[in-house]
A and B are shown apart, each in its own frame.
Chain A
């Protein structure tokens, strides 16, 4: 199958700290890839280097066969990004933010439909700052989907959503995945990772400590539940230190 995101030996340091250390990622079309790890493990830096908003020290990145730094304009017609932070203007309404986002792209989806599917159609005229945390999070997913992307980067996908809204988002993303959308996401919820991700990469101190499927992660750990396995992978060193 066609590889849409390809990362080879990516490294990036801040001063003396290695934020990302020789990370490899390979995602095929229609796959959901989970980049996991505790806060400060290097997930955000990895994503920023992949998107070209930060320059890596070494390693190669390509998305849809393009270099994100050199082919920025062409690439971001087909790739979209949902950010963690709420980066929108003061006093802007939901409809205005959607309209502005739409105007940046050559092709786009009908955002009224998307808002309806994410349960936000009654918030059309509301100011973004007045939405609840979960509503904002859903809006940011809508914004990432407006350009009808082939690849989407979702950072902390469902943080702040209630159980029902999370299930709705999963269902919607699974449908898009079936239609060939490639998704790279970060998440702190292991049930979500299990439900959505075909492959995962667990980072710790910038290094990749596990790469493979969720089933493989469980099989190579002494546990039966993925969340336990995940904690076992990320805690391993501490446990070794404790036993000394």
Chain B
């Protein structure tokens, strides 16, 4: 426990010193919710909708940090620490190299939760946002999205042969999901053809779940996304355990 807390403190400091996660996971979602708030304010999501555009977008914006940490931050740090033989150094200490990975997962989870709280605070204070659905369901969906995104990131970092490959794979996952899954560009304004393509992205399904939970929409539309998220997490974790490269 002493090792975990010391490592957590140090790795968090190092991560903040690097600034990139602060920009992509903390600042970017706040900028997004402010832009959406200014443009759409309290306009309804569509003619006759019972909820506003901003309320509809809240769940989506809340995933920006998960996406940045899970499929960009995690793969890069895992492959970097393997390349620097930091994981190997842990093999000749009393603690397992898995500890430093657990610390990284905890740090990115902290970024995500901090981002959720900040986005919620900004939306509530400045744009009169109200969560009409259940917080419990929302948080359940939120952690499910986190689990599947993080497991995908660990898989990429764990099996990519070098940092370059990991960074290419991370970009291939990160940018399409950031733009086309609805996290930044609202899914509802996309043409139907693009929506069909976007539906393939796991984050699109995750955001659908979060929207359903935050807007209190009927439960039957969420079964497919739940199954997809769980299947993705189980597959990635399974493959990671089998093929993870420690050095």
Chain B residues near A83 (CB-CB < 8 A): 85, 88-89
Structural contact, B7 and A105, CB atoms closer than 8 A: no
User: Given A91-B14, A103-B2, A53–B7 Cβ distance below 8 Å?
Assistant: no
| B191 beta carbon closer than 8 Å to chain A | no
User: In the complex the two chains form, what is the Cα distance from A229 to B13 in whole Å?
Assistant: 52
User: In the complex the two chains form, what is the Cα distance from A89 to B89 in whole Å?
Assistant: 12
Structural contact, A88 and B86, CB atoms closer than 8 A: yes
Structural contact, A81 and B6, CB atoms closer than 8 A: no
Interface string of A46-78 (1 = CB under 8 A from B): 000001110000000000000000001110110
Structural contact, A81 and B92, CB atoms closer than 8 A: yes
Interface residues of B in 80-118 (CB under 8 A from A): 80-81, 84-86, 88-95
Chain B interface mostly helix, strand, loop or mixed? Answer: helix
| A106 beta carbon closer than 8 Å to chain B | yes
User: In the complex the two chains form, what is the Cα distance from A73 to B91 in whole Å?
Assistant: 9
Contact of A87 among B3, B86, B94 (CB under 8 A): B86
- Which residue on chain B has the smallest CB distance to residue A144? B92
Chain A residues near B85 (CB-CB < 8 A): 83, 85, 87
User: Given A85-B85, A90-B18, A53–B10 Cβ distance below 8 Å?
Assistant: no
- Which residue on chain B has the smallest CB distance to residue A127? B17
Chain B residues near A102 (CB-CB < 8 A): 6
Chain A interface mostly helix, strand, loop or mixed? Answer: loop
Structural contact, A100 and B89, CB atoms closer than 8 A: no
Interface residues of B in 1-24 (CB under 8 A from A): 2-3, 5-7, 10-11, 13-14, 17-18
Structural contact, A96 and B92, CB atoms closer than 8 A: no
Chain A residues near B89 (CB-CB < 8 A): 81, 83, 87
User: In the complex the two chains form, what is the Cα distance from A51 to B105 in whole Å?
Assistant: 28
User: In the complex the two chains form, what is the Cα distance from A178 to B148 in whole Å?
Assistant: 55
Chain A residues near B3 (CB-CB < 8 A): 103-104
User: In the complex the two chains form, what is the Cα distance from A102 to B10 in whole Å?
Assistant: 13
Structural contact, A53 and B92, CB atoms closer than 8 A: yes
Structural contact, B17 and A91, CB atoms closer than 8 A: yes
| A38 beta carbon closer than 8 Å to chain B | no
Chain B residues near A104 (CB-CB < 8 A): 3, 90, 93-95
Interface residues of A in 99-115 (CB under 8 A from B): 99-100, 102-106
User: In the complex the two chains form, what is the Cα distance from A74 to B94 in whole Å?
Assistant: 7
Counting chain B CB atoms within 10 Å of each CB, the highest count among A53, A74, A77, A80 belongs to A53
- Which residue on chain A has the smallest CB distance to residue B7? A100
Structural contact, B93 and A92, CB atoms closer than 8 A: no
- Which residue on chain B has the smallest CB distance to residue A73? B94
User: In the complex the two chains form, what is the Cα distance from A97 to B243 in whole Å?
Assistant: 29
Known: A74-B94, A83-B88. 13 other contacts (CB 8 A): A72-B94, A73-B94, A76-B94, A81-B89, A83-B89, A85-B85, A90-B18, A91-B17, A92-B10, A100-B7, A102-B6, A104-B93, A106-B94
Mind listing 10 A-B residue pairs with CB under 8 Å? A74-B94, A76-B94, A83-B89, A87-B86, A89-B81, A92-B10, A96-B10, A96-B13, A96-B14, A103-B7
Using a CB–CB distance below 8 Å, which chain B residues touch chain A?
2-3, 5-7, 10-11, 13-14, 17-18, 80-81, 84-86, 88-95, 247
